[in-house]
């Protein structure tokens, strides 16, 4: 075994060695223990390097080149000697174990993900209804169907569970009340295996409990899916909560869904102002019918938001949702509009700080 893309550890202290092994197991990373780096190539190829005081001295004496993710660990608060050696070896952080175990888990997880990351993070979409009954949950489900690989996340604990829309409410698997994540790191492969999936869409539903969703847990889930290259679609309620704030902050694109009538247009305008304050990258999806002849372009102009897509009425949709949940039909108005939204998202230049152009 070599250290390429693994964690290289030069840890002499036996107590620290056990602590580092325990942290590596918690972070699900591969660790290679050596007395000293065998070469500059081995030093630079590792996704991270963990050193104790003695190990840091050895590496400093070898005159190894500076690199990212060098972590020095100790059993107590860092003293001047440890700081001096850490600086000489170019360490980014000095951690005390076991007190800083959580921080070390995060660092090693980040390093492991970076080593396998091809630079393509999964996109995040947040979907909000401009008014009650706008069809936001249905459209969020359609977006999840339209994406190549997706995670549908319920951020509305008062909506009865988005798994009803997907048709997976009776399927075995975890829901939000079953998870105890906090703000830790989430391995997406393990999470997705524990969640229900239908028609290729993995879903994390709030179920029917009505309890608040933890913002830290939501952030961890979304981040884990992004790192795995999965498109995450968050279905949001029209109210400000910490979890809603976290979803809006993470979103590459916020989709506001509104029917094409005057009252819904007025409500969507107000909701749109709130959303833009949290995330300027907001676009509009207008759903027919238009009983007064209001065009999608008119709704966009009144709301002051760019139009992402419009869709006509889809016959039989309500009955379909009542029977077994939304089924992906490529030529349906709903799926066509969902694909248009994803096309807009994919045309955007990066994963963060994007500005949607009308």
pLDDT tens, per residue, the chain with 358 residues: 344 458 999 999 999 999 999 988 888 788 899 999 988 888 988 889 999 999 999 998 998 888 888 999 998 888 888 888 888 888 989 999 989 998 898 888 888 766 555 556 889 999 999 999 889 999 999 999 999 999 999 999 989 899 999 888 888 889 999 887 766 667 788 788 889 998 889 999 998 877 889 999 999 899 889 888 899 999 999 999 999 999 999 999 999 999 999 999 999 999 999 999 999 999 999 998 888 889 999 999 999 999 999 998 887 787 777 887 788 788 899 999 999 999 998 875 443 333 454 3
Fold annotation for 7-116: Rossmann fold (3.40.50)
Residue 231: in which H helix or E strand, if any? strand 231-236
Among left, alpha and beta (phi > 0; psi -120 to 50; other), residue 229 is left
Rg (CA), the chain: 24
List Cα–Cα distances, 34 to 2, 9, 21, 342, in angstroms: 10, 6, 13, 47
Give Cβ neighbours of residue 330 (< 8 Å, ≥ 6 apart): none
Task: Identify any residues that bridge with 243 across adjacent strands, giving them in sequence order.
Answer: none
pLDDT for 5 equals: 57
SS3 label, residue 348: coil
SS3 label, residue 204: strand
Q: What is the phi/psi pair of residue 39, to 5°?
A: -165, 170
Judge whether 7-116 and 124-347 match in fold.
yes
pLDDT for 351 equals: 39
8 A C-beta contact, residue 306 and residue 280: no
pLDDT for 184 equals: 61
SS3 label, residue 50: strand
> For residues 264 and 199, what is the distance between their CA atoms, to the nearest angstrom?
32
> For residues 321 and 328, what is the distance between their CA atoms, to the nearest angstrom?
12
Give the closest residue to 127 by CA, choosing from 355, 341, 353.
Answer: 341
How far is C-alpha 151 from the chain's CA centre? 9
Q: What is the DSSP string of 166-199?
A: HT-TTSSS--GGG---TTS---HHHHHHHS-EET
SS3 label, residue 11: coil
Q: What is the dihedral of CA 129, 134, 139, 140, to 10 degrees?
A: 30
What homologous superfamily is domain 124-347 in, according to CATH? P-loop containing nucleotide triphosphate hydrolases (3.40.50.300)
3-state helix, strand, coil in the chain (%, to 5): 40, 15, 40
List Cα–Cα distances, 97 to 14, 101, 104, 217, 269, in angstroms: 13, 6, 9, 25, 52
Residue 57: in which H helix or E strand, if any? helix 53-61
Task: Please say whether the dihedral angle defined by the alpha carbons of residues 64, 70, 72 and 78, taken in this order, is positive or negative.
Answer: positive
Domain ranges of the chain: 7-116, 124-347
> For residues 187 and 185, what is the distance between their CA atoms, to the nearest angstrom?
7
């Amino acid at each position: 075994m070599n250290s390429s893309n693994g964690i290289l550890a030069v840890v002499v202290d036996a107590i620290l060695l056990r602590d580092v092994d325990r942290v590596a197991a918690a972070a699900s990373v591969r660790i290679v223990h050596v007395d000293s780096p065998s070469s500059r190539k081995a030093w630079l190829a590792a996704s991270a390097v963990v050193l104790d005081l003695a190990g840091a001295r050895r590496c400093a004496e070898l005159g190894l080149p500076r690199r990212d993710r060098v972590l020095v660990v100790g059993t107590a608060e860092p003293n001047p000697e440890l700081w001096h050696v850490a600086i000489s070896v170019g360490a980014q952080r000095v951690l005390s174990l076991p007190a800083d175990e959580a921080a070390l888990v995060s660092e090693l997880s980040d390093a492991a993900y970076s080593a396998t990351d091809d630079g393509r993070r999964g996109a995040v979409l947040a979907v909000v209804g401009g008014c009650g009954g706008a069809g936001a949950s249905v459209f969020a489900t359609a977006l999840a169907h339209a994406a190549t690989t997706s995670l549908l996340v319920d951020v509305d604990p008062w909506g009865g569970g988005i798994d009803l829309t997907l048709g997976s409410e009776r399927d075995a698997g975890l829901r939000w009340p079953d998870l105890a994540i906090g703000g830790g790191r989430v391995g997406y492969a393990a999470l997705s295996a524990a969640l229900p999936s239908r028609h290729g869409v993995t879903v994390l539903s709030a179920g029917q409990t009505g309890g608040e969703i933890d913002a830290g847990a939501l952030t961890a889930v979304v981040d884990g899916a992004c790192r795995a290259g999965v498109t995450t679609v968050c279905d949001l309620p029209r109210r400000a909560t910490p979890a809603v704030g976290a979803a809006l902050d993470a979103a590459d694109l916020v989709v506001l869904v509104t029917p094409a009538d005057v009252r819904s247009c007025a409500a969507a305008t107000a909701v749109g102002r709130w959303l833009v304050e949290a995330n300027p990258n907001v676009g509009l999806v207008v759903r027919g019918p238009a009983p007064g002849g209001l065009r999608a372009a008119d709704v966009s102009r009144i709301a002051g938001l760019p139009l992402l897509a419009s869709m006509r009425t889809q016959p039989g949709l309500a009955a379909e949702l009542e029977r077994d949940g939304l089924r992906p039909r490529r030529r349906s108005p709903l799926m066509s509009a969902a694909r248009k939204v994803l096309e807009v998202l994919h045309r955007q230049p990066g994963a963060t700080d994007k500005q949607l152009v009308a």
